[in-house]
Amino acid sequence: MGIAGQARLSPNASLVLLASILVSFLAASSAPTPLYGIYQANWHFSSITTTVVFAIYAVAVLGSLLTFGKLSDHLGRRPILLCAIAVQMIALLIFIFANGVATLLAARVVQGLAAGAATGAIGAAMLDINRTRGTLANSFAPGIGTGSGALLSALFIQFLPAPTRLVYVVLFVILLAQGIGIVLMPETVTPMAGALRSLRPEITLPRAVRGPVLAVAPVLFAVWALAGFFGALGPALVRTLGPTSIVLGGVALFVFASLSSITVLLLRNTPAHTVMLTGVGALILGMIVTLVSVMMDLVAGFFVGIALGGVGFGGGFQGSLKTVLPLVEAHQRASVLSLLYIVSYVGLGLPAVIAGFLVVYGGGLPMTADEYTVAIIVLAAVALFGLRRARKKTPA
């Protein structure tokens, strides 16, 4: 009997493994964040380059999602995940041996391609195993991964040797172990014909979820735009407020991401609409606190604003998934989840690059942070209006 026939992992163990892989992929994506300052000092590039290096990942994820987002529906979850893990490990090797901006960009592109292929397959596989717990894990794991990657990287920089390499070595070993786990995991979907046809990029929405997706799209864009700003420029912004420790820059992103996951956990049994309103409300309040704190150089207030922003991200993202995914048939899960992530990654990358240009050609980082914060408040207010309008149209 072949290895696939010897799969031994139970559904619960498989769900934990899949969630851990999503954590690892997001940790790998955020690990460079505390290192951007070191890269910038060593290779003498501007904040624009920093945000481009950050955002090229989002572009690669988008391309991968559009191309490979539905492939696991046809070939199975396991083959796609094994390939994605292998490609992610190649990206980590490029990071380990990076010697300039070109290699950083290459690493981020390869990393994004791997993440895009894996995201739809992981999310769909978790929903295959258990729809309720899978939806929760899809919302919970990204925050854990993003926060742990940034914090781990910052701690390595502060206390361990080879800071630009060691974190990637550790992630490489973790992914290798997780790949072995995938080999032992049973397939969660029956492969079907049409794999080559599925590679043709197309954005389609099942009629049953068109309204809900349009309602949640502004929320997804707003919360991921905030995550993009903190991910690209958060550590640098913390340093402008006074503290010089690299660890505090990693802590900032960790606070944001961990609060988002805690919010997901606490609100897991709350109706989707309530979760969405909680998220948008916390996002607006957090951005107001952040705006005042940056203007007054209040480090403690800045971290309070980040924490509230994390609550906003967790509530907005979880509420969006809870609103849409329960309405989707099994064979449509990877496609719809990929579409939601497309909206998310456009929000992650595009505003961050605009912020990079404003830092260099506008009024500098503090002023850009103020302008960016106001923009997110306006966007969140628009999203809140849309949610209330969609709620009124929903039959009682």
Q: Output DSSP code: residue 5.
A: G
Tell me what the mean pLDDT of segment 87-96 comes to. Answer: 97
In angstroms and rounded to an integer, the radius of gyration of the C-alpha atoms of the chain is 20
| Angle between the N-to-C axes of helices 210-240 and 365-393, in degrees from 0 to 180, rounded to the nearest 10 | 160
Domain ranges of the chain: 9-187+208-393
Q: Output DSSP code: residue 331.
A: G
Judged against a pLDDT cut of 50, whether residue 4 lies above it is answered with no
CA distance 354 to 43: 22
The 3-state secondary structure of 70-107, one letter per residue: CHHHHHCHHHHHHHHHHHHHHHHHHHHCCCCHHHHHHH
Band of the pLDDT at 46, cuts 50, 70, 90?
confident
| Angle between the N-to-C axes of helices 333-361 and 299-324, in degrees from 0 to 180, rounded to the nearest 10 | 150
- How many other C-beta atoms lie within 10 A of the C-beta of residue 270? 15
* Cα-Cα end-to-end distance for the chain: 55
Q: What is the pTM of this model?
A: 0.80
CA distance 54 to 228: 8
Instruction: Look at residues 73, 330, 74 and name the one whose alpha carbon lies nearest to residue 206.
Output: 330
Which pLDDT score, from 0 to 100, does residue 228 have? 83
Give the helix/strand (H/E) hosting 19.
Answer: helix 11-30
User: 212-267 pLDDT, tens per residue?
Assistant: 888 888 889 988 888 888 777 777 777 777 766 678 878 888 899 889 888 988 88
Q: Are 93 and 99 in contact (CB under 8 A)?
A: no
User: 282-316 pLDDT, tens per residue?
Assistant: 999 999 998 898 888 888 888 899 999 999 998 98
Which pLDDT score, from 0 to 100, does residue 201 have? 64
What architecture does CATH give domain 9-187+208-393? Up-down Bundle (1.20)
Query: What's the one-letter identity of residue 137?
Result: A
Which pLDDT score, from 0 to 100, does residue 396 have? 42
Which pLDDT score, from 0 to 100, does residue 244 have? 63
Strands (E), 250-364: none
CA distance 341 to 329: 18
Helix (H, G, I), strand (E, B) or coil at 158: helix
Q: Output DSSP code: residue 330.
A: G
Q: Are 84 and 29 in contact (CB under 8 A)?
A: no
Using DSSP, how many helices (H) and how many strands (E) does the chain show?
15, 0
Residue that has been written with the tokens 């197309």 in this structure: 202
Judged against a pLDDT cut of 50, whether residue 21 lies above it is answered with yes
Phi-psi region of 51 (alpha: psi -120 to 50; beta: other; left: phi over 0): alpha
Band of the pLDDT at 392, cuts 50, 70, 90?
low
The 3-state secondary structure of 202-247, one letter per residue: CCCCCHHHHHHHHHHHHHHHHHHHHHHHHHHHHHHHHHHCCCCCHH
